[in-house]
């Protein structure tokens, strides 16, 4: 029988509450720990992500996932994007600090998972899309992380839009991007750009992967990804040639998933990715 346990954290820098959860099989044995980070416009219970938690728990991991604090969800809310003002105030520094706060909670023993169930010497990070870029950056700055996997990861955080877009963004203070799933227009305040320039050494994926990332790395990408082109996986592999590169034929950005996901089993591409990732963590963490 698997155990599912949720818990709340309050951001040390911003004071906003955000939720995380753990899935594990309580057997008194210390198990490797996986922390999963969602992507842009995502959240911890999107689509098939809860099924992923069960998958890893059934294979002997303690699986944590979190809602990044400014992803637009509200604790006790609808379970979908609803706080668009918070979404607009998000930036990469906040997200990295949120991930760090969960890691700190693991090592402080302030999660619902008993210490005896976790082998924190085998802490692994996995991130999807923008979350993949975040786990690369977090592992580069936190030696407590022992292995990393990315699923359809971005290779840089700077979008390289035309300068006219940035000029108008700076003039108005906000840029709106569509959420095609919900029909919402999601605001991004210009502070996102300012934060990137202010903390560029911390947020430069290429520099950090090339110079600072020492952990074993698995790069997974669908060769038909319509959101983050597969070239991003090749670029990351060039930065760290000892990484394992796994390209999934015919797979798109969500590896077969959709929201909502009502089936009990994982979509087949996502299941294959999970199997290979679990194997990688067992071997390399």
Instruction: Write down the domain spans for the chain.
Output: 3-158+201-284
pLDDT score of 117: 98
Q: Into which CATH architecture does domain 3-158+201-284 fall? A: 3-Layer(aba) Sandwich (3.40)
pLDDT score of 40: 97
3-state class (DSSP) for residue 187: strand
- pTM comes to 0.98
Mean pLDDT of the 8-33 span = 97
CA distance 66 to 115: 19
Mean pLDDT of the 104-125 span = 98
pLDDT band at 81 (very low <50, low <70, confident <90, very high): very high
What is the DSSP-derived secondary structure letter of residue 89?
Answer: T
Cβ proximity of 235 and 263 under 8 Å: no
Structure token pair of residue 194: 């300012």
Mean pLDDT of the 112-116 span = 98
Query: Over pLDDT 70: what percentage of the chain?
Result: 100
CA distance from start to end of the chain = 25
Largest CA distance in the chain: 58
CA distance 281 to 15: 33
pLDDT score of 54: 98
pLDDT band at 41 (very low <50, low <70, confident <90, very high): very high
Mean pLDDT of the 196-211 span = 98
Give 44's Cβ-side CA count (13 Å radius).
Answer: 24
CA distance 230 to 152: 8
CA distance 144 to 57: 21
């Amino acid at each position: 029988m698997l155990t599912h346990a949720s818990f709340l954290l309050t951001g040390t820098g911003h004071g906003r509450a955000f939720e995380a959860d753990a899935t594990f099989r309580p057997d008194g044995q210390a198990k490797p720990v996986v922390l999963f980070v969602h992507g842009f416009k995502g959240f911890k219970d999107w689509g098939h992500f809860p099924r992923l938690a069960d998958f890893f728990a059934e294979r002997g991991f303690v699986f944590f996932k979190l809602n990044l604090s400014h992803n637009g969800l509200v604790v006790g809310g609808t379970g979908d994007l609803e706080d668009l003002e918070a979404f607009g105030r998000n930036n990469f520094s906040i997200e990295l600090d949120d991930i760090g706060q969960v890691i700190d909670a693991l090592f402080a023993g302030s999660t619902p998972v008993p210490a005896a169930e976790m082998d924190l010497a085998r802490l692994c990070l996995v991130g999807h899309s923008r979350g993949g870029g975040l786990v690369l950056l977090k592992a580069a700055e936190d030696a407590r992380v022992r292995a990393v996997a990315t699923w359809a990861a971005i290779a840089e955080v700077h979008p390289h839009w035309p300068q006219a877009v940035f000029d108008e963004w700076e003039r108005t203070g906000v840029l709106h991007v569509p959420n095609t799933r919900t029909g919402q227009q999601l605001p991004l305040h210009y502070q996102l750009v300012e934060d990137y320039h202010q903390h560029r050494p911390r947020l430069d994926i290429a520099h950090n992967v090339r110079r600072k990332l020492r952990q074993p790395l698995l790069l997974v990408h669908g060769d038909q990804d319509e959101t983050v082109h597969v070239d991003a996986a090749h670029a990351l592999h060039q930065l760290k040639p000892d990484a394992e590169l796994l390209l999934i034929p015919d797979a798109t950005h969500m590896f077969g998933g959709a929201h909502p996901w009502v089936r009990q089993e994982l979509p087949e591409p996502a299941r294959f990715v999970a199997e290979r990732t679990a194997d990688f963590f067992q071997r390399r963490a």
